[in-house]
Amino acid sequence: MGRCLRAAFLLGGLLLLSCKAPTVNLGDVAKEIKSKDYEAYFETWTRHGEVYNLDTLENSLKVSATYLSWEMRQAYVARYCADYGLDEAGKQAMLDKERAALEASNEFLVAATATNQKWAYFHKADSPWRITLITNQGVEIPYASLERVRKPSAMLIAYFPTITIYREVYRFYFPLVEGASGLRIIKPALKSFSLVFAGALGRVELKWKVKQPKKANP
């Protein structure tokens, strides 16, 4: 590849890095989230990344992931209830269901594609990617299970616009607690956590920086 083309790719990467993703709030607080604000919450909890082979110009992986935090789940319920006209009882039933899912695992909704679509088949035994959840506190753990969403519903596509007919869609489930300590893996005390796709084709790290509480004035 020529120097100019390599430089263009590197410049593009630097431009992407310059667009800072918002920090996230991991506080376990019930919020009065408005349906109209759903897109803002979705962008806050979604990360995007990609890796290229600069010699062949192949897209080894292009991936987006949404962490289904309590805040994100509440935003989803707010939008769903507004769209479908659910009453307070229906809303509470949805919140209870989302709370149960939150307490079962750390869940990410992932949509991916590649020049060779098979490279985005994460469910295959010969997948070229090792996928882990890591934190700034030194925890690194593989997913406990994954679910391939073969035919995303119209509702899923509407609420998660990273999903398209050209992308492979998965739900990744990571343990809630770290085995050695029994402590939660994703918690407010973190500075950051990442979903990492690594292997012979490259490495993509999707990072969520955690909003730190303000220190009280002495």
Per-residue pLDDT of the chain (218 residues; tens, 9 = 90+): 333 333 333 333 433 333 578 899 998 777 789 999 999 999 999 999 999 877 777 889 999 999 999 999 999 999 999 999 999 999 999 999 999 999 999 999 999 999 999 999 999 999 999 999 999 999 999 999 999 999 999 999 999 999 998 999 999 999 999 987 888 999 999 999 999 999 999 999 999 999 976 664 44
Which 3 state secondary structure label does DSSP give 178?
coil
Give bridge partners of residue 48 from the DSSP assignment: 64
In the three-class reduction of DSSP (H, G, I as helix; E, B as strand; rest coil), residue 203 is classed as strand
Quick one: the chain helix, strand, coil %, rounded to 5? Answer: 30, 30, 40
CA angle 181, 182, 185 (to 5 degrees): 90
Q: Is residue 174 exposed (0-12), middle (13-18) or buried (19+ Cβ within 10 Å)?
A: buried
What is d(CA 131, CA 145) in angstroms, rounded to the nearest whole number?
11
Beta bridge partners of 113: 62
